[in-house]
Amino acid sequence: MSFRAGRYTEYTRYIAACRPCDRDKTNAHSYKHQSVAHATSYALDQQKDSGSRSTPYDKNSQKQKEITCALTHHIAKDMAPVNVVEKTGFRKLINTLDPRYNLPGRKYFAEKALPELYIKVREELASQLVNVTHFSTTAEHDHTGGIIAQGLQDALMSWNLNEARQVCITTDNGANIVKAVSLNHWTRLQCFGHRLHLAIERSIKDPRIDRAVAVCKKVVSSFSFSWKRRRDLATAQQELNLPAHQLISESPTRWGSREKMIERVLEQEQAISQVLAADKKTRHLVLTWQDLEVLESVHKALKPLLEFTDALSGESYVTVSYVKPVLHLFQSSLLARQENDTPLTQSIKASILDYLREKYSDPSTNDLLDMAGLVDPRFKITYCTEKKVEAIKSRAITEMEAMLYETDQGS
């Protein structure tokens, strides 16, 4: 007699009935009871349970396909290396989660699963683009302008996109991509995050800043490579009631990391000086009052801008309508001259503003930004110059009428 299916009928949270004995047993004793009173049947049942858990899924089973599909999605979505499926730790993880699953090898995912997923997703996306009336693109290529120009046109053709419907293309400031866009006679919108980065890099080209930042980097390095100094820094932070924060290293390609490094050094300056001054090998790294004044001037100018680089470089939401409001905010508030600004802070602010004004003064770029603001209910014509309001409204009406006409013709 098998006790596997329907062996127990639970009629309360704690009571189960053993059918062969026709007696009630608490859950705490039910397994002990069957293993003793019905040892032979219990052992057979355990063998069956163990066998069902170790039997691999059929390669065409629904469960096998579902797990393989999920793993393929993981590799593609998270940009994981294909050979992850051959890593010992990963295979152990999969086996622990489901011992019956037969994990395919790297070749299967590389030559079958991933290409099939690509075709499926591409077809789904292509079907969504069939009725697109307006679109924008972005590009970053390492080639000559002429070849990039042709490659961009080929890309649109491969998706059956009409370049006449392209509103603009967003790029960095590379000479090759700028030339490619010019050759195609497309409207180019400069990446705001890249422009802001260049504006800031240009504004802090000053020997005083170079020296102070160089000392900052040496200070951070002196703690990064010495666990004893990090220990002493933690002690000093406690003594001085400072936050228990680690120092931050600079990434050369991101101005924001430099600002964060400066901010953290200024926050921890007392603790840093205490640790460095206690060791004759590092006393020369103690920041002078001149260095601190320079760092504070830089920090005051750049700190308010830190959040805008990432916010206006988003990929999952529209940001073009933010550009003019943000430029206005920079000019009227964040980069506006203040009475307590040092001459260096004022110079940095002015340099950033001048650069951004120059780069966003192009008429075609301005028209694009005005149109984007008009159709955004948060801004409308707030940041459009008065003399351009009627022209922008008229253009919007004309484009909407054209879209309605095309819709009527299509139906």
**What pLDDT shows up at residue 314?**
63
Could you list the mean pLDDT of each consecutive 10-residue stretch along the chain, which spans 411 residues? 43 50 54 59 55 78 95 96 95 95 95 96 91 85 90 92 90 90 92 89 95 96 94 96 95 86 97 96 94 97 82 70 92 93 97 94 90 93 93 92 79 60
pLDDT at 13: 43
Tokens 């295979």: give the residue: 91
pLDDT of residue 221: 95
pLDDT at site 11: 40
pTM for this prediction: 0.72
Domain boundaries, the chain: 8-54, 62-128, 131-190, 206-311+319-355, 362-411
Label each residue of the chain as H, E or C. CCCCCCCEEECCCCEEEECCCCEEEEHHHHHHHHHHHCHHHHHHHHHHHHHHHHCCCCCCCHHHHHHHHHHHHHHHHCCCCHHHHHCHHHHHHHHHHCCCCCCCCHHHHHHHHHHHHHHHHHHHHHHHHCCCCCEEEECCCCCCHHHHHHHHHHHHHHCCCCHHHEEEEEECCCHHHHHHHHHHCCCEEECHHHHHHHHHHHHCCCHHHHHHHHHHHHHHHHHHCCHHHHHHHHHHHHHCCCCCCCCCCCCCCCHHHHHHHHHHHHHCHHHHHHHHHCCCCCHHHCCCHHHHHHHHHHHHHHHHHHHHHHHCCCCCCCCHHHHHHHHHHHHHHHCCCCCCCCHHHHHHHHHHHHHHHHHCCCHHHHHHHHHHHHCCCCCCCCCCCHHHHHHHHHHHHHHHHHHHHHHHHHC
Q: What is the pLDDT of residue 138?
A: 87
At 190 the pLDDT is: 87
pLDDT score for 191: 85
pLDDT at 14: 42
